[in-house]
Amino acid sequence: MWAFIRRLLGLEEPQQELSGDLELPWRRRWHQTLKRSAGPDFTRQDYRLARERAREVARVTLGEELWQQLERQGYLDVPSKRFPGVTYRLRVGLRIEVICAPGVECPWPFPYLCINPKYPLPELEFFAHLYLYVRDREDEIIRVAAPQPWNQVLGRTF
């Protein structure tokens, strides 16, 4: 019974049954992990490999043309399908910037949208996730994003 209470209060990690190299990060609690970190057990080699894989994931997800555009400009603009005259500017590791055409009122009270992953991810991998969500699931972005008055680095990416 005490083990259940410790887990309920977040004092003990739930037991994970892992098979092979399968990672199940959503089954861990991350609220005590330092920002911009993947946790104390992540080595420099782990960060390097994770960032290399993330680069490949982002490149394949975006395709060569958008990847080159991101490399050249440092951002991608994705037009809203829901709000005419609104564009989402995506930058690696930063909040989403909402850009409105002249005469178009911003749908949010602030020009930046904050969305962090549930668990730590490399910046480029999360960028690829955000791109797909903004492009294909804008309603989910609208539902979960927290409008913010300034830009800032994301806390759960590294």
**Tens digits of residue pLDDT in 140-155:** 999 999 999 999 999 8
**Where is pLDDT greater, at 40 or 81?**
81
Q: How far apart are CA 21 and CA 139, in angstroms?
A: 34
Predicted confidence band at 9 (pLDDT cuts at 50, 70, 90)?
A: low
3-state secondary structure (DSSP) of residue 72: helix
How many other CB atoms are found less than 10 A from the CB of residue 11?
A: 11
Written as one string, the DSSP assignment of 31-66 is: TTSPTT-S-TT--HHHHHHHHHHHHHHHHHHH-HHH
Q: DSSP class of residue 146?
A: E
| pLDDT at res. 135 | 98
**Tens digits of residue pLDDT in 85-125:** 999 999 999 999 999 999 999 999 999 999 988 888 899 99
**Tens digits of residue pLDDT in 11-62:** 555 555 545 676 666 666 666 666 667 777 788 999 899 999 999 999 999 9
Q: Judge residue 36's burial from the number of C-beta atoms within 10 Å of its C-beta, 0-12 exposed, 13-18 middle, 19 or more buried.
A: middle
Nearest CA to 55 out of 35, 38, 70 is that of 70
Helices (H) and strands (E) in the chain, counts: 5, 5
| pLDDT at res. 61 | 97
Average pLDDT of the segment spanning 61-86: 98
- Strand extents, DSSP E, the chain: 76-79, 86-90, 96-100, 112-114, 146-148
Q: Judge residue 95's burial from the number of C-beta atoms within 10 Å of its C-beta, 0-12 exposed, 13-18 middle, 19 or more buried.
A: buried
Residue 128 parent element (H or E): helix 123-136
Structural domain boundaries of the chain? 32-148
pTM confidence score: 0.79
